[in-house]
């Protein structure tokens, strides 16, 4: 679906983290709907490097970009030479900044701040220099244990959430300074959908539950999963929010969710029903208590008002649309 009518012919669009989940979906959105745009993808493609928690340092994967016709640059946004190259050798009209350490369990605070906060400021300086509108990934992790999911009620309970609050604070400073560009931060809630598989253990429970069932295993749920409620949003609605943020009525920080909280038990039940496999559950202790949000529900009133955003997918709709891809991934990736 095409979300804006603007002619983007010969417009230069930078997507950082473009081989990751949301970034690659944006890359293909432009290729399919605005083929005359010039899209440049930057990603720190995965290597064997891991954090101390054992998870990969980069989730970027070439398979997310198979069929992409634009320019691809392998690079780390912490690299000053990369920043200099992007600043001097291109003239961007839009920057979609999706690159980040997005694993909320990463304990390396120094690298989290350097990657998520300091590199964002460098990219924002490029946006100002190029007069490029900036659209970037913030997160519902900014709210932490707050029970008010509206900008201004932040209470992060891990360094990832803190880093996103710091990014949003930088945005506020730049907007107050009167910069001549639009800057929009999108606080994603729990995103699921195609091209997330290579996030491995941090991929959504939707795909994880589906593959557990297809392997003949029981679905593993945290104890009390019927009472753990999150706002789960399908990738197509996240893409919609990003595209509409290119021309906002007002710059700022906006929630991207459905406005409805659903349980992890709901996900397990829906996935089981859609796959036609009788559900069997195994309940395990939650090892992330203290770092874990037990309830999230986006207030999207401002997102609707200033971006023209309207969530189109209920949880049942998104999972139903996702099931064929879950089956394909199981046959082509999991069973190998």
Q: What pLDDT, in 10s, does the model give residues 16-50?
A: 999 999 999 999 999 999 999 999 999 999 998 99
- Catalytic residue at 199? yes
In angstroms, the CA 66 to CA 48 distance is 21
pLDDT, tens digit, 9 for 90 and up, residues 47-96: 989 999 999 999 999 999 999 999 999 999 999 999 999 999 999 999 99
Which listed residue (136, 160, 188, 322) is catalytic? 160
Containing structural domain, residue 174: 12-334
Total Cβ atoms within 10 A of residue 4: 14
Question: Do the domain assignments include residue 187?
Answer: yes
In angstroms, the CA 198 to CA 196 distance is 6
Question: Do the domain assignments include residue 4?
Answer: no
Which listed residue (57, 164, 199, 244) is catalytic? 199
DSSP-H helix ranges across 45-97:
80-89
DSSP-derived pairing of the beta strands 94-97 and 38-43: unpaired
Q: What pLDDT is recorded for position 248?
A: 98
Question: Do the domain assignments include residue 327?
Answer: yes
Question: Do the domain assignments include residue 305?
Answer: yes
- Catalytic residue at 160? yes
Question: Do the domain assignments include residue 3?
Answer: no
Q: Once rounded to an integer, what is the mean pLDDT over residues 260-274? A: 97
Question: Do the domain assignments include residue 2?
Answer: no
Q: pLDDT-based confidence at 255, cuts 50/70/90?
A: very high
- Residues forming beta bridges with residue 253, ordered by sequence position: 185
Per-residue H/E/C for 171-239: HHHHHHCCCCCCEEEEEECEEECCCCHHHHHHCCHHHHHHHHHHCCCCEEEECCHHHCEECEEEHHHHH
Question: Do the domain assignments include residue 266?
Answer: yes
Using a cut of 0.95, tell me whether the model's pTM lies above it: yes
- CATH (domain of 57): 3.40.50.720
Tell me which of 104-108, 121-125, 131-135 is least confident.
104-108
DSSP-derived pairing of the beta strands 219-222 and 71-74: unpaired
Question: Do the domain assignments include residue 6?
Answer: no
Chain mean pLDDT for the chain: 96
Instruction: Please tell me the total count of domains within the chain.
Output: 1
């Amino acid at each position: 679906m095409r979300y804006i009518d603007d002619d983007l012919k010969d417009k230069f669009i930078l997507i950082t983290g473009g081989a990751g989940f949301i970034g690659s979906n944006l890359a293909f959105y432009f290729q399919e709907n605005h083929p005359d745009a010039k899209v440049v993808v930057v990603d720190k493609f995965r290597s064997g490097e891991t954090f101390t928690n054992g998870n990969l340092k980069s989730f970027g994967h070439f398979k997310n970009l198979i069929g992409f016709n634009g320019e691809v640059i392998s690079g780390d946004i912490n690299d000053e030479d990369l920043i200099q190259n992007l600043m001097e050798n291109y003239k961007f009209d839009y920057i979609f900044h999706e690159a980040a350490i997005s694993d909320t369990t990463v304990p390396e605070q120094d690298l989290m701040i350097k990657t998520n906060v300091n590199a964002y400021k460098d990219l924002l300086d490029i946006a100002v220099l190029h007069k490029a509108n900036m659209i970037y990934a913030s997160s519902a992790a900014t709210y932490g244990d707050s029970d008010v999911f509206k900008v201004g009620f932040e209470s992060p309970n891990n360094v990832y959430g803190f880093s996103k609050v710091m990014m949003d604070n930088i945005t506020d400073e730049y907007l107050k300074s009167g910069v001549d560009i639009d800057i929009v931060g999108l606080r994603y809630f729990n995103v699921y959908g195609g091209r997330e598989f290579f996030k491995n253990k941090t991929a959504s429970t939707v795909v994880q539950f589906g593959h557990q069932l297809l392997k003949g295993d029981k679905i593993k749920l945290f104890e009390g999963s019927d009472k753990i409620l999150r706002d789960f949003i399908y990738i197509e609605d996240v893409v919609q929010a990003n595209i509409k943020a290119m021309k906002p009525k007002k710059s700022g920080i906006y929630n991207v969710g459905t406005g409805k909280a659903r349980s992890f038990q709901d996900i397990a039940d829906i996935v089981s029903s859609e796959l036609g496999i009788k559900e069997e559950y195994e309940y395990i202790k939650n090892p992330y208590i203290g770092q874990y949000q037990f309830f999230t529900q986006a207030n999207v009133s401002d997102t609707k008002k200033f971006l023209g955003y309207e969530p189109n997918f209920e949880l049942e709709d998104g999972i139903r649309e996702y099931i064929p891809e879950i089956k394909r991934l199981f046959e082509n990736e999991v069973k190998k």
